[in-house]
Amino acid sequence: MRYIKKPVKGEYPEYSHIYMDLLEDDGMVLKHLWENFVKIKEFVYALPKEKLEYRYADDKWTIKEILVHLIDDERIFAYRALRYARNDDTPLHGFDQDAYAKNSKANERSLESIFDEYESVRRSTLTLFKYLPEESFMRGGKGVDIDGSIINQRTVRGLAYHIAGHELRHFNIIKERYVN
């Protein structure tokens, strides 16, 4: 697997430290992405079926919705990485994760269909980062907030680590709030 150095402050928005803090500084983010996908899949498949659509509070997502959220988030952040890697610094709008979750109809899907899509997206993400030119990892871009203001400077390597850390954060939430 390719070595990608962990980003430093300034390569990601301040709030993203909750994701970055979960990751080792070993440069093996792509290896961790694959291994964590496998761990999550094994963990979720071992759960009783009734847990997959359980909500620990009325306004919280189910495990199926979390999984589809991870897929959506990964697609969006990998797309941003591609844009920035190709030296396109056009500010990109964020997305309303709650609207995405609501409209995903995740609870109507089989677990097999969700993991089929998840694996396809993960393999695509790994391939993207594996073959990017080395100099592209320090390229970056900004996001646009709802009010039109520019926010969230990120580098390509910051986006790779965002995907990995975001996934781990949600995995930890599943273990803490849905299973125990």
Residue 105 lies in a domain: yes
DSSP-derived 3-state class of residue 54: coil
Numbers of helices and strands, H then E, in the chain = 6, 3
Count of structural domains within the chain: 1
Give CA torsion, residues 146, 151, 155, 160, to 10 deg.
Answer: -40
Residue 4 lies in a domain: no
Is the pLDDT at 177 greater than 80, yes or no? yes
Q: Using an 8 Å Cβ cutoff, are 6 and 162 in contact?
A: no
Enclosing domain of residue 68? 14-179
pTM listed for this prediction: 0.95
Q: Does residue 125 or residue 95 have the better pLDDT?
A: 125
Residue tagged 């803090």 (tokens): 21
Supply the CATH number for residue 31's domain: 1.20.120.450
**What pLDDT, on the 0 to 100 scale, is given for residue 39?**
98
Is the pLDDT at 4 greater than 90, yes or no? yes
Per-residue DSSP letters for 127-138?
HHHHHS-GGGGG
Report the relative pairing of strands 150-155 and 140-144 from DSSP bridges: antiparallel
**What pLDDT, on the 0 to 100 scale, is given for residue 69?**
98
> pLDDT for 67-115, tens place per residue?
999 999 999 999 999 999 999 988 888 899 999 999 999 999 999 999 9
How far from 32 is each of 22, 56, 109, CA to CA, in Å?
A: 11, 28, 27
DSSP-derived 3-state class of residue 92: strand
Residue 7 lies in a domain: no
